[in-house]
Structures are given as C-alpha cells and as structure tokens.
C-alpha cells in the first residue's frame, strides 16, 4: 500500500491584491482520511486546495505534508497529485500517453512508463480503451483516466477539485461510490473540494465547512449534522431551523432564548450573558405536528407552504416571532392529518433537538 501523508495547515492565508481569499485557517487532516472542503462559491476552498498542491503560493503561514514544510516545494516534489474539474486530458494523445505523461521527467524508459500507465488504467478498469483518445470516452470514463493519471506518481495525498461536477446526476452518484472505494483501497489521503452538502456527507471522514475565507467547522459528517457549530453551518447544511433572538439566562445545561415581544425557547448549551444575541438550531426532522404546545419547546404556527417530497413532506410555518420554520414529517404522519395552508398547527420538539449555536467571531 502507498504511504499516506497527513496535511497540516497552520495559520495560512491567501491574499490576491486586495482580496483575502483564505483568512488565517488552521486545519489538521489525518493521514489516510477522506477530507471534503465544503462551502459556497468564493469561500476559498479552491485557493486552499491549490496552496496544498503548490499551484498557488502561500501568502502567510505553513503547510506540512507529513513532517515536511512544503511551502517552497514545486508541485511535483510535494508527494501530492491533483485531479482537475475539467480532467485536463490531452486531446491528441491516447490514454496510455495521457496517463504516462507525468512520468516523462522521472527518468524511466518509454516502455517502463507505458507499462506503468497500463497498470494504472487496469486499476481503473480502463485497459480495454488504452489506445483511444479522450474524445472517444464518456464523462465517467474520462474521469477514471484523469484519476489514473493523477495516481501514477504514487502520491501520498490526492487533491480533487470538484471532480464530479461535469457528470450527470446518475453518474455522479455512481462515481462518488467509486471514489470512496478507491480511497479506502489505496489508503492515501484525499482532499476533495465540493459545494455539495450531499456529496460531502456521502464521502468524507472529515468535513471542513468554509465561509468567507474562514473555517466554520471541521468535524466528521455526523457531528456536522447533529451538532452544527455555527448558524452558518446549520443554515448551509439545510437540516435545521435557526431561531435568532437574545439570551435570557438559563440553568442546568439549558439556555433560554427570547424573541423580544414574542416567545422564549430553551436549547441545550451554555447561556451567554443576558440580552446578548443568541442563535439556536432545531432539527427539521424532529419537529412534531399536533399535541398541546410544550412551553419553550414549541409554538403554534400558521402553515405558509406544504411541499410533498415522496417519503417526507416539508411544512413551512410562521408564528411566535419566527418566519419560515420548517418541519419535515413522514408522508404517513402527514396524510394522517388534514393540515392545509393557512391552518394554525401546534409544533413541538424535544429539548435534545434544540442546541445553542456559537458565533465565528465569539
């Protein structure tokens, strides 16, 4: 098995003229893990990946691969390989020569290079196409060739920039499963840039959610989902209602949030000083319709929209100083009710499904 490298990013910034694309981030990616850099367009994910690869200089800070500071090493000397969004295959070369390309400088004979390229194509189950040109392949096949080409240098870390974005939705899901299998079988570190929450949840051991050049949260998928650290993460992952108000004390591991002139809610976590801005998150799939409203853990909402999704139904409500509060309930539970738009409905949740969110600048 190939050696895997840990990646240690220490207080790294990337500044382009007046734009700070990456703002003093620190992150440790364990050797052999699958890490997804996730965030909206412009949040600095690609700049971070390109600094790890050596395709972009580091403005401030250090990046280590294993024990080695790689800041001043050229891409080919870092032990990393990069797979680009567009695959960047050479149209005039057959697949063998495309895959063998990065060995040209490695002091191997042409026959040795071609033999190793064929091995890599075999690993990706593409050996039958070895003498074709890239234009004669489907999108999924081109992706496999691009992977073979990136892996031929036996990298300790593979860096992937939106590797699935050129594929149709069906192929995307299939190639996603292949990527994960490949990473587990090679055992090397993968760093994969994506703006898709679903892709990151499906693939990553470690999800790094970025916003505005900073890291909002770096954690395993389950922790990101169950314990979003900030309002940004809760909103971006899309599975929580974020309720904003002001702190109104609390005790025994429960904080109180008050929406001035409206309601007070309880949430798990430490209360900040009274009357400070406070956000809490309530899981959309844990909200129940019906029953008496539990004080601090529910309210009566007016239904503003109902969206049928097959196995689940999304119900949006306003009330108690909150707008666009979402409950995702099973189709079975929904069709057992007679709820329609404009109705007043009781909404309830358990204390454990409401948590206090932090602030990035806290």
Ligand X SMILES: Nc1ncnc2c1ncn2[C@@H]1O[C@H](COP(=O)(O)OP(=O)(O)OP(=O)(O)O)[C@@H](O)[C@H]1O
Binding site for ligand X (CB under 6 A): 16, 19, 21, 39, 41-47, 195
Choice between 19 and 305, CB closer to ligand X: 19
Choice between 21 and 357, CB closer to ligand X: 21
DSSP 215-278: EEEEE-HHHHHHS-SBHHHHHHHTSEEEEEEEEEEEETTEEEEE-TTS-EEEEES---STT-EE
Query: CA triplet 24, 270, 220: central angle to 5 degrees?
Result: 50
Residue 307: CB minimum distance to ligand X, A: 27
Choice between 43 and 96, CB closer to ligand X: 43
Give just the sign of the alpha carbon dihedral 54, 55, 61, 63.
Answer: negative
Contact (CB, 8 A) for 126 and 172: no
Residue 16: CB minimum distance to ligand X, A: 3
| Cβ atoms within 10 Å of 174's Cβ, excluding its own | 12
Give just the sign of the alpha carbon dihedral 301, 303, 305, 308.
Answer: positive
Choice between 132 and 195, CB closer to ligand X: 195
Bridge-based pairing state of the strands 240-251 and 277-283? antiparallel
3-state SS, residue 103: helix
Residue 306: CB minimum distance to ligand X, A: 33
Choice between 42 and 346, CB closer to ligand X: 42
Query: CA triplet 68, 52, 54: central angle to 5 degrees?
Result: 90
Choice between 37 and 118, CB closer to ligand X: 37
Residue 62: CB minimum distance to ligand X, A: 19
Of the CA atoms within 13 Å of residue 349, those in its CB half-sphere come to 26
Closest residue by Cα to residue 179 from 146, 155, 208, 152 = 146
Q: Rounded to an integer, what distance in angstroms lies between the CA atom of residue 85 and that of residue 16?
A: 22
Residue 167: CB minimum distance to ligand X, A: 17
Choice between 41 and 111, CB closer to ligand X: 41
Choice between 47 and 247, CB closer to ligand X: 47
3-state SS, residue 22: strand
Residue 3: CB minimum distance to ligand X, A: 28
Residue 199: CB minimum distance to ligand X, A: 13
Residue 40: CB minimum distance to ligand X, A: 7
3-state SS, residue 202: helix
Residue 175: CB minimum distance to ligand X, A: 19
249: tokens are 């004390």
Choice between 133 and 195, CB closer to ligand X: 195
- The torsion region of residue 151 among left (phi > 0), alpha (psi -120 to 50) and beta comes to alpha
């Amino acid at each position: 098995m190939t050696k895997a490298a840990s990646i240690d990013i220490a207080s790294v910034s990337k500044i382009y003229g007046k734009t700070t694309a990456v703002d003093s981030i620190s992150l440790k990616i364990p050797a052999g893990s699958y890490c997804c850099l996730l965030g909206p367009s412009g949040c600095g994910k690609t700049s971070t990946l390109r600094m790890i690869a050596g395709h972009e200089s580091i403005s401030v800070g250090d990046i280590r691969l294993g024990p080695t500071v790689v800041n001043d090493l050229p891409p080919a000397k870092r032990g990393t390989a990069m797979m680009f969004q567009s695959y960047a295959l050479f149209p005039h070369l057959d697949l063998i020569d495309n895959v063998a390309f990065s060995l040209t400088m490695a002091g191997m004979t042409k026959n040795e290079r071609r033999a190793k390229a064929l091995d890599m194509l075999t690993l990706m189950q593409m050996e039958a196409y070895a003498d074709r040109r890239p234009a004669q392949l489907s999108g999924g096949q081109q992706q496999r060739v691009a992977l073979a080409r990136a892996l031929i240098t036996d990298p300790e870390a593979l860096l992937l920039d939106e590797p699935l974005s050129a594929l149709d939705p069906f192929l995307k899901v299939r190639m996603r499963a292949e990527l994960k299998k490949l990473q587990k079988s090679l055992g090397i570190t993968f760093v994969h840039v994506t703006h898709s929450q679903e892709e990151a949840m499906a693939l990553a051991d470690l999800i790094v959610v970025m916003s505005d050049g900073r890291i909002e949260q770096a954690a395993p998928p389950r922790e990101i989902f169950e314990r979003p650290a900030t309002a940004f993460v809760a909103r971006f992952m899309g599975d929580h209602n974020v309720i904003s108000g002001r702190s109104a004390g609390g005790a025994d591991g429960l904080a109180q949030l008050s929406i001035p002139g409206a309601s007070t809610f309880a949430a798990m976590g430490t209360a900040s000083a009274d009357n400070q801005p406070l956000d809490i998150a309530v899981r959309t799939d844990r909200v129940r319709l019906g029953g008496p409203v539990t004080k601090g853990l529910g309210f009566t909402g007016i239904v503003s929209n109902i969206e049928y999704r097959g196995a689940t139904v999304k119900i949006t409500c306003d009330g108690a100083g909150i707008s666009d509060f979402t409950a995702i309930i099973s189709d079975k539970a929904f069709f057992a009710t007679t709820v329609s738009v404009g109705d007043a409905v009781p909404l309830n949740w358990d204390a454990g499904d409401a948590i206090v969110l932090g602030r990035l600048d806290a």
